[in-house]
Amino acid sequence: MIYLDNSATTRPSQEALQTYLSVSERFFGNPSSLHKLGMESEKVLNRARSIMAELLDVESSGIYFTSGGTESNNLAIKGSLRSTLHKKNHLITTAAEHASVYQSFKELEKEGYQVTYLPVDETGKITISDLEKALTKDTVLVSISHVNNETGTIQPIYEIGTLLRKYPQIRFHVDHVQGAGKVPLSIKRAGIDLLTLSAHKFHGLKGSALLYIRPGIHVKSQAHGGEQEGGFRGGTENVAGIAAMAKAYKMECEKASSRMTHLQQLQLKLVEHFSLLDECVVNTPHQESAPHIINVSVPGYKPEVIVQKLAEQEIYISTQSACSSKLNEPSRVLLAMGKGEEVASSALRISLSFDSTQEEIDTFIQVLSTLLPSIKKVVGK
C-alpha cells in the first residue's frame, strides 16, 4: 500500500496507539472525579497539556482540548465573538479557508455580522495591503489559516500578526491544522490569540485536538453541560486520545528536525514531474508552500475516476479537502486563486508524511502514467 492522503488523515503511529491503549487500561477514571482514579487521570491530562504547551512554546493555561479541528475552529470563531456584548461586528477571513472556517463565517453573516473575504492571488496568498484596507473601526476578528489544506500555500502569518498588533481590540485566529509539525510557527512571535491543532494530522488518533487561547482572551463555551477545560468546552475529556496526541506531536516535531529535507525533495520530484506533463497544471506554488502537499489538475479527466483507479492499485490520494471531496463541485480554493472551472474541477491532492519514501513516489508516478491513457478513453477527452 502507498498512502499519499496524509492531509486528510495520517496513519496513527504505533507509539500513539500504544499510549492510547496503556492510558485507556490504566487511567480510565473520569478526570473530574474526586477519587483516586479520577485524580490519576487528571494528572495524565495535565501532563499532556504541559507537553503540548512546551512544544508550542506557550503557557499550559492556554491549552484547551477538543474533539477535532472543526470544533476548535468553531469555538475560536463563534466563542470569541459571543463572549462579550459589543456593537462591533466586522470580521475578516479569506476566500480560501477550510470549510469549518468558511462555513462558520457564512453562518455568522446570517446573524448580522459583516464579513470581508479577502481575495487571494494566483498562488493562494493574501496581501497585507488588502488586509490593511479591509480593517475598520468595527473589526473584531481576523481568521486566516497558516497552511491551505488543498494547495499547501503558506499565508504570511508573521506579517499579519505584526499589522494586527496595532489594533489590540482585534482577535487573531489561525487554523494551524495543516501546518503543525511541517511548517514552523511561533505563536508568540506571530501575535496569535487563538490557534487550532488536530491530532490525526500528525499521526495521533481521530477525535482529539486542541485550541490555544491566549491568557486574557475571553471565549464563550459552545457546548454546555459541564465545566471541563476551564469552562470553555463542556464534556468529559478523552484522556487517552489526548495523551496519544501529545506523544504523536512530540514525535512529529522530532522527525521534522531530521527529515524535512527528505520531505522537500519528494515534493520537488512530484512538482517537477507534473510540470513536464502537457496535460497537467500544477496548482501548488512550490516555492511558497508547505513541503507535504502537492495539488495538480488534469483538465478533461474526472479526478474521482483517477482516485478510484489508483485505489485499485492500493495507491491512495484525494481530490480536494476530505471534508469537501464528496460534494462533486469545483474546488472553491482553486476558483478563488483564479483557476478556471475546468482546472478547479479536475484537481488531485497528493499529501506526504515524513514516512513517505522515494520508492513510493517512483511507483506512484509510474502507475499514474500508465493509468492516464486508459482513463482518457473512458471520459472521452
Residues marked active site are found at 323
Q: Which residue has the cell 486528510?
A: 8
Q: Residue 69 in contact with residue 202, Cβ under 8 Å?
A: no
Concatenate the DSSP letters of all residues of 39-107 into one string. HHHHHHHHHHHHHHHHHHTS-GGGEEEES-HHHHHHIIIIIHHTTS--S--EEEEETT--HHHHHHHHH
Question: Which cell is 197 given?
Answer: 491543532
CA-closest candidate to residue 108, choices 88, 84, 129, 91:
91
CB contact at 8 A, 160 and 128: yes
> Coil, strand, or helix at residue 349?
strand
Q: Determine the Cα–Cα distance for residues 112 and 320; give it in Å rounded to an integer.
A: 30
- How many beta carbons lie within 10 A of that of residue 332, not counting itself? 19
